[in-house]
Chains A and B, each alone.
Chain A
Amino acid sequence: MLTLEAILLGLIMGVFYGLMAFGLTLIFGILKVVYFAHGESFMIGAFTYSLLALWLGVPLWLAIPSAIVVGGVVGVIVERLLIRPLYEKFGDWQAMRDEYAIIVTFGLSLFLVNLANQVFGPYPFRGPDLTDVARFEFGPLIVGGHRLAAAVLGGAVLIGAYLFIQHSFGGKQIRAVAQNRFGASIAGIDTRMVSMLVFALAGGLAALSGALLAPLFHASPDVGVLPALKSFVIVVLGGMGSPIGSLVGGLILGVLESLGALYISYTYRDTYAFAILILVLLLRPQGLFGERAREV
């Protein structure tokens, strides 16, 4: 029973990981760069939800979408001001665009963490639970009330995001740009709008993850650091640029962490992700659903 419960809890955590990784893999898919400030979208969502509800008394059904919107808006601002030079103005810098992306996004991450520290203070804020039910008991299985409710909501949004990417016109544009940016622009797709859409989506989903976990993890300036690191692992595990890979990868990581912590050692819980990263890079570097790069 403990194993079954661990698997269930792992799947629940996997949904939150998936929300983080989904956006990150899309960013990588269209720009082929790593976005180091992704964890701060998580942090922004956690603070937005917690403080709107606690300080302003905003009802939860409004606080959650507000967190998504704020995360999305921040994503758009970042894309417009910091990321667009990667593929627009500094064409002569193509040889250095990876370095530029790393330095800029890493610096942005440090800036946002310290800004939050100054604005909100370093104290943790526990966001309100989505439900008054303390826990659900299914026979011997116990799952926290908020945790289950948050996972259901997060899972629904994640599935919706996946369906958007797969079947909507906007989603098809995103996939086209991910396949070939130049070709997509020739076909008439506004690649700048697509980039903004991807950053809005990534920021919004990460912010949702932060908001849903705020009652469990407590909002604080550095709350997004570990989830961001794990989302990088999931992107590699699932395949860079693969939305379905990030979904499945998130669930796999959540379950493996949960079982490993229960049966091997809790102390190394956060290292299992990096052990998986090393194994994937050694044995299947393209990830579960990624494609091997082809060179001509």
Chain B
Amino acid sequence: MSTHDHMRRTGLGGLAIALLALGSGGVAAQDQEPIRVGVTLTQSPPGSVIQGTEVLRGLEIARDLFNEQGGVLDRPFELIVEDTQGIPERGRAAVEKLITSDKVVALTGEHQSSVCLAEIGLAARHNVPFINTNCWSDDIRKEGHPQVFSPNMYNSRVATAMAEVIQGLGVDSVFALAENTDWGIGQAEALDELLEQTGADIDYQYELLDREARDFTPVIQGVRGENPSLVALIMLPPAAYVALNQLNEQGVLPSEDTWLFEGGGLFSYPDFWENVREAAQYGIYFDLYHTDMALSDLGAQVREEYMQRHDGTPSRLVFQAADSLLLIKEAIANAGSTDPDAMIEWLQQAEVPGTRGTITFSDEPGPLFQQWVDTPYVTYQVTELDQKLEETTLISAPDLGVQLDQLRQPKN
């Protein structure tokens, strides 16, 4: 063998060894490479920051619990969070970045319908599973994207709950104050449709309010003039707090002549009592969680972990967020990979024990497409200042039906 041949063989051998080493090192790194989950939510105004904060808390708790158990496919979860500010264009930009730059395997966390609607098209185009944490607008399901799964509440179900109570109370007039977003408009219209379907003679009207405005007095003057039997509030904080206080300021609520039905889960937010005082009393509140509600083992773990990390009891958003990450975990585990088609196919047939019930998805086209149809909900009445959730009076719940005889009104 010539010197040249010897050097060539030595060089090739060394190169082969180097390539093998790199390859095995690369495989080892990939084993530990985290599973990146893209999270879009609101962390600064004008969107609902309190919602975004609760969702993030729920996702972080779920991530930590799942990672303690080894993650999925021996890989830990990593959350990559983008602040959308509750603005649809920001949501689109965030999703674009998460998919193309961060290469996330799934998206979740979104809690504002207008932003969801801007994001899901992009997720569908890139074939990335999108677990809708808290966007209630029925339009999201109507789009029919197979990548989008909704294990959360939806407008027509909330409207059904409202209509149940409204019919049961025998009211003859309803005035709804709704925020001018896809969620607010959708729920106000869904309630209108449902009340018509009941055939009851109920005078229903609604007014759309700008979520960034702070003075609703002219509208509330109109409400006072109409003197409705029930005011339905379909808004998020901080505008919702402002509206409630101004309803109180004008003498509309609380009142023995007028009920309040709050349809956005407002009471569960940690800053509720700091911002709303007497106005909140005797109101009927819609929610997805009550302390009397049965929780699964995971739900109980999430609740305990939340109470250790933060003040107070968790809101429904925490459980919804945990369920969102759970679905992603189960999809990956059962699909055996992060292949989106495999994940989507599995999710479509899934039955997943979540924090508050077994999650399944409908295949019916339209507003129930890939929606958890039987999402549990509760309604309860708040009767005292600074009342805690466990002290409120449960009016309706799964397995309880509707118990309107428990309701109380103030004596004027």
Contacts and interface: CB of A to CB of B under 8 A. Distances in A.
Is chain B found bound to chain A in the same assembly?
yes
Interface of A: 2, 5-6, 9, 13, 54, 114, 117, 121-126, 134-135, 137, 142, 144-147, 213, 215-218, 220-223, 225-226, 257-258, 261-262, 266-267, 269-270
Contacts of B210: 267, 269-270
B399 interface: no
B46 interface: yes
Interface in B1-57: 43-46, 49-50
Contacts of B222: 262, 266
A234 to B, nearest CB: 16
Interface string B238-266: 10011001101111000000000000000
B218 interface: yes
Nearest to B209: A266
B221 A262 contact: yes
Given A135-B249, A261-B219, A216 B49 contact: no
Nearest to B237: A124
A209 to B, nearest CB: 12
A261 B209 CA distance: 11
A6 B221 contact: yes
Contacts of A134: 248-249, 251, 278
The 9 A-B pairs of least Cβ separation, nearest first, read A261-B218, A144-B249, A122-B49, A124-B238, A217-B214, A222-B45, A126-B275, A262-B218, A266-B219
Contacts of A137: 251
Given A134-B278, A135-B249, A144-B250, A267 B208 contact: yes
A216 B246 contact: yes
Contact of B274 (A117, A125, A135, A270): A125
29 contacts: A2-B221, A54-B274, A122-B45, A122-B49, A135-B251, A146-B249, A213-B214, A215-B245, A216-B214, A217-B215, A217-B242, A218-B242, A218-B275, A220-B45, A221-B44, A222-B46, A222-B212, A225-B212, A226-B212, A261-B218, A261-B219, A262-B218, A262-B221, A266-B207, A266-B209, A266-B222, A269-B210, A269-B213, A269-B218
Interface string B47-70: 001100000000000000000000
Given A126-B275, A218-B242, A258 B218 contact: yes
A45 to B, nearest CB: 15
B225 interface: yes
B301 interface: no
B50 A216 contact: no
B217 interface: yes
Given A6-B221, A267-B210, A123 B242 contact: no
Taking each of B180, B210, B248, which has the highest tally of chain A beta carbons within 10 Å of its own beta carbon? Answer: B210
A216 B245 contact: yes
Contacts of B216: 266
Given A126-B245, A266-B207, A267-B210, A9 B238 contact: no
Taking each of A6, A123, A147, A216, which has the highest tally of chain B beta carbons within 10 Å of its own beta carbon? Answer: A123
Interface residues of B, number: 39
A215 B279 CA distance: 13
A266 B179 CA distance: 12
B218 A142 contact: no
Contacts of B339: none
Taking each of B45, B212, B248, which has the highest tally of chain A beta carbons within 10 Å of its own beta carbon? Answer: B45
Contacts of A267: 180, 208, 210
Contacts of A258: 217-218
A183 B217 CA distance: 48
B238 A117 contact: no
A261 B214 CA distance: 13
A95 B242 CA distance: 45
B271 interface: yes
Given A114-B44, A266-B218, 14 more contacts: A13-B215, A54-B274, A117-B45, A122-B43, A124-B237, A124-B271, A216-B214, A216-B215, A216-B245, A218-B214, A220-B45, A222-B212, A266-B216, A267-B210
A218 B224 CA distance: 23
Nearest to A222: B45
B238 A5 contact: no
A125 B245 CA distance: 13
A157 B43 CA distance: 37
Contacts of B225: 2
Nearest to B216: A266
A13 to B, nearest CB: 7
A215 B249 CA distance: 11
A223 B180 CA distance: 19
B236 to A, nearest CB: 11
Contacts of B209: 266
B250 A135 contact: yes
Contacts of B277: 126
Contact of A123 (B49, B207, B217): B49
Contacts of A226: 212-214
Contacts of B49: 121-123
Given A126-B241, A142-B251, A9 B45 contact: no
Interface string B124-140: 00000000000000000
A224 to B, nearest CB: 11
A124 B275 contact: yes
Nearest to A267: B208
Taking each of B45, B213, B218, B219, which has the highest tally of chain A beta carbons within 10 Å of its own beta carbon? Answer: B218
A267 B96 CA distance: 33
Contacts of A147: 249
Interface string B332-357: 00000000000000000000000000
Contacts of A262: 218, 221-222
Contacts of A217: 214-215, 242
Interface string B177-197: 000100000000000000000
Nearest to A258: B218
A122 B44 contact: yes
Contacts of A5: 221
Contacts of B274: 54, 125-126
